[in-house]
Amino acid sequence: MRKHHLTRSVRWPARADMVRVCVVGCGTLGLKVAGALSYFGHSVRVWDRDRAALDSAHERLRLDRSELRRDGLLLQRAGAGRVTLLARLDEALADARIVFECVSEDAAVKEETFARLSAAAAETAILASCTLRVPISALAARVQRPERVLGVRFLYPVYYVPEVEVTPGPATSRHTMDAVTQFLTHMGLTPFLRCGPEPVVLDDEQREQRRRWRRQRLAAAAAGAASTETRYAPQLAFVGNLVSAADVAPAGGGAHDCAVCMDAPRDCVMAPCHHLCTCCRCARLLRGRRDACPICRQPIQDFIRVYMS
């Protein structure tokens, strides 16, 4: 099968440097992830074991662009990044710094895919799954160096939704979390941590709200009324891995305040429990005292800085 190159992609406002990424699986979600990343200027290679899915990808990307342009969500035609469709996994993974797994939501299929990624991708490549419910620990168990495995799920329909759900596994390293957070935030996206086993799914009203907001921002930017460099900072209808304020905060404390000092914002996640409840300074103090997480009372082995928009 010949290589397919999509060269007529669209530049979106972006501050990120180009990163070579690979998207594994070009179903509905995978292809939208590939298209959105290319619009931000990244070099995207896509692989799927289904030749028919690869053969139809050009037309599906074209239809996505047409719909976005019709809705006023794409204003420019010049290409920023490129999507390359490949039939060989080793070619798709070559030099990829981040691999986004978007295959079907089947535990056995995903575990097999991660075993193949571990064997074929660079040892330093970050391996991110779009899974809804498959435990990250099960995927990491099939990988050499499981510290580079985590969940990264772009919320459907991807193109105009800034929130990205991030789920670290028990072995996910601080370096991996920091690298993925930086990658997402440099595109103006808003990573958040999943709270519990249930994924966040936007309803029609929430999707339409984000569509309207994006359209207004682009129209204002085109008119010179707003800088395209401004970060999107939505008021989310969900709070990621934040627990109820009543669980950790005294009267008068905010749901986003550190549960220890009640002054600084919560900006780190505990390991291995992944609760987001303190600021980095207090987390460092708790770890130094060999204290436990304020929520679940598990011993704190480490903490990971997170970034909010």
DSSP β-ladder status, 163-168 and 149-154? antiparallel
Q: Are residues 200 and 277 in the same domain?
A: no
Q: Is 168 helix (H, G, I), strand (E, B) or coil?
A: strand
How many CA atoms lie within 13 Å of 236's alpha carbon, on the beta-carbon side? 25
Rounded-to-10 torsion of CA 116, 118, 124, 127: 70
Q: Are residues 272 and 137 in the same domain?
A: no
- Cα of first residue to Cα of last residue in the chain, in angstroms, is 43
Task: Please give the Cα distance from 252 to 62 (Å, whole number).
Answer: 52
Amino acid identity for residue 251 in this structure: A
With respect to residue 138, please indicate whether it lies within any of the assigned structural domains: yes
Q: Are residues 52 and 198 in the same domain?
A: yes
Task: Please give the Cα distance from 255 to 235 (Å, whole number).
Answer: 14
Domain of residue 285 covers: 268-305
Task: Read off the CATH number of the domain in which 291 is found.
Answer: 3.30.40.10
Residue 114 is encoded by which pair of tokens?
């991660």
Q: Which of 192, 203, 208, 189 is nearest to 266 (CA)?
A: 192
How much is the pLDDT for 267? Answer: 84
Q: Are residues 53 and 191 in the same domain?
A: yes
Q: Are residues 177 and 41 in the same domain?
A: yes
How much is the pLDDT for 236? Answer: 36
Q: Give pLDDT tens digits along the chain (309 positions).
A: 333 333 223 233 344 478 999 999 999 999 999 999 998 889 999 999 999 999 999 999 999 999 998 988 887 664 467 899 999 999 999 999 999 999 999 999 999 999 999 999 999 999 999 999 999 999 999 999 999 999 999 999 999 999 999 999 999 998 999 999 999 988 888 888 876 677 888 999 999 999 998 888 888 877 775 443 334 333 333 333 333 333 333 334 455 788 888 888 888 888 777 778 889 999 999 988 888 888 778 888 888 777 654
Q: Are residues 198 and 287 in the same domain?
A: no
Q: Tell me how far the alpha carbon of residue 26 is from its chain's centroid.
A: 17
How much is the pLDDT for 85? Answer: 96
CB within 8 Å of 297: residues ≥ 6 apart: none
Domain end, chosen from 152, 178, 204, is at 204
With respect to residue 153, please indicate whether it lies within any of the assigned structural domains: yes
Q: Give this prediction's pTM.
A: 0.72
Q: Are residues 167 and 286 in the same domain?
A: no
Q: Which of 200, 85, 78 is nearest to 132 (CA)?
A: 200
Task: Please give the Cα distance from 150 to 169 (Å, whole number).
Answer: 6
Q: State the total domains in the chain.
A: 2
With respect to residue 114, please indicate whether it lies within any of the assigned structural domains: yes
How much is the pLDDT for 301? Answer: 85
Domain end, chosen from 178, 204, 230, is at 204
How much is the pLDDT for 128? Answer: 99
Q: Are residues 293 and 190 in the same domain?
A: no
How much is the pLDDT for 100? Answer: 99
Q: Are residues 108 and 197 in the same domain?
A: yes
Do the beta carbons of residue 49 and residue 113 sit within 8 Å?
no
With respect to residue 229, please indicate whether it lies within any of the assigned structural domains: no
Q: Are residues 191 and 275 in the same domain?
A: no
Measured over all CA atoms, what is the biggest interatomic distance in the chain, rounded to whole angstroms? Answer: 64
Task: Read off the CATH number of the domain in which 139 is found.
Answer: 3.40.50.720
